[in-house]
Structure 1
Amino acid sequence: MGHSQAEKAASRERVLRIAARKVRAEGVSRPGIADLMKEAGLTHGGFYKHFASRDDLIAQASAAALAEGSAKMERAARKNEQDPRAGLVDAYLGKMHRDSPATGCALVTLGAAAGRSDQHFKEAYEKQVRTYLDLLTGLDDDSGAFGDDFEQARAEAMLTLSALVGATLMSRAVADPAFSDELLETVAGRLKQHGSRASAA
């Protein structure tokens, strides 16, 4: 790759990275081309060298934002060697994740947009939901919580993921900080308690 092509690829990646952070923090309707290009240190006129349209950029940025979450969830699970599932729950329902939507899980911020979007966006969202479900199911398989009952482990993963995403969404949306904390702490506690009971059984 020539120097100019390498620079172009680096510039495109920078815009995409900034846009992915913006859609996680603000949703898909807010980021404007001019602001994104300015933050990337590029001119507004150069945008179309990298992307066909704003919709093209937002679609790619949303897919990138969704995909970035997998590695973070896996790292969170690995931090607690004794109970990886609890480690994941603690990280996801922690105040740091709640207070950092720009670097947090895009399932929370992009769910409503995906529901109103085209098939391509829905497929990207679904792919990430399925990836998280596979991760959670694998954690339960590793713990032996459900023996060989894959369907039960899968159902538990669906319940857990729904609680994680829903509690985070609500904790960011409510006005009372104490209530926000209570939502996170209560759901995290119940999920871990539920997981412990399943393992014991």
Structure 2
Amino acid sequence: MGRVSQAQAQENRARVVATAARLFRERGTDVSVADVMKAVGLTHGGFYKQFASKEALVGEATALAFAEQEGLRARQDEAHDGQREAARRGLIDWYLSAEHRDGAADGCPSAGLAVDMARDQDGSVARRAYVDGVRDFADWLAVEKGDDGLVRLSTMVGALLLARATHGSPLSDDILDAAREAL
């Protein structure tokens, strides 16, 4: 098989990062490099031509997941003509929905990566991206100066995690409803 062009290599790399971001949110960062590459349709050997290590991929995938979330927030702002409270409300309603509960792969990285990042105490690139992403999300959720949004974010992430853990029982929807009402 011939060599791929530089443009194709960059496209492949972007596909690997995007696929990893989805798989890590859905199944955790224990997903193997082989599984990521298989999902993209590339060989395992090609991974090391693009990435120094799996940890490097986890860092990039985490940063991409938070960038995607930032895009979601920007779309909420745009859809509500810059009316922050309406945008915040729209995002909270979506966040605490059955659709989001059931769609972990495309969901919030704060929830999807929480368990893995809790185990990552060494200050990795992924951990730094996670901390920065959580802070940015909390700041966006803040209602007024002096309100850092952390309570809102903690309620949302906790409710989402519990709703996912109890999925299939009536309690799951009750958790989403209660958190949405509280916020």
What interval of TM-score do these two structures reach, taking the shorter chain for normalisation?
Answer: 0.7 to 0.9
Residue type of the partner of 1:24?
R
Give the structure 2 partner of residue 128 of structure 1.
133
8 Å CA contact 1:24, 1:104 repeated in 2: yes
The aligned runs of 1:96-115 (5 Å cut-off) are 96-115=99-118
Give the structure 1 partner of residue 158 of structure 2.
166
Does residue 90 of structure 1 match 2:93?
Answer: yes
- Matched residues, percent identical? 38
Structure with the bigger percentage of helix? 1
Distance in 1 (CA, whole Å) between partners of 2:98 and 2:79 is 17
8 Å CA contact 2:155, 2:179 repeated in 1: yes
Q: CA 1:4–1:176 in 2, change beyond 3 Å: closer, same or farther?
A: closer
Give the structure 1 partner of residue 75 of structure 2.
75
> Residues 155-181 of structure 1, C-alpha deviation per residue, up to 9 Å, x if partnerless?
xx1111110110001000115431100
Higher CA-based Rg: 1
Does residue 62 of structure 1 match 2:66?
Answer: no
8 Å CA contact 2:29, 2:58 repeated in 1: yes
Q: CA 1:54–1:122 in 2, change beyond 3 Å: closer, same or farther?
A: closer
8 Å CA contact 1:76, 1:91 repeated in 2: no
**Considering only aligned residues, what root-mean-square deviation do their CA atoms show, in Å?**
1.8
The aligned runs of 1:1-201 (5 Å cut-off) are 4-29=5-30, 31-76=31-76, 78-80=78-80, 83-117=86-120, 118-120=122-124, 121-137=126-142, 140-141=143-144, 150-151=145-146, 153-154=147-148, 157-191=149-183
* SS in structure 2 at match of 1:114: helix
The alignment covers a number of residue pairs equal to 175
Q: Structure 1 unaligned segments of length 5 or more: list them.
A: 142-149, 192-201
Residue type of the partner of 1:51?
F
* SS in structure 2 at match of 1:52: coil
Distance in 2 (CA, whole Å) between partners of 1:44 and 1:167 is 37
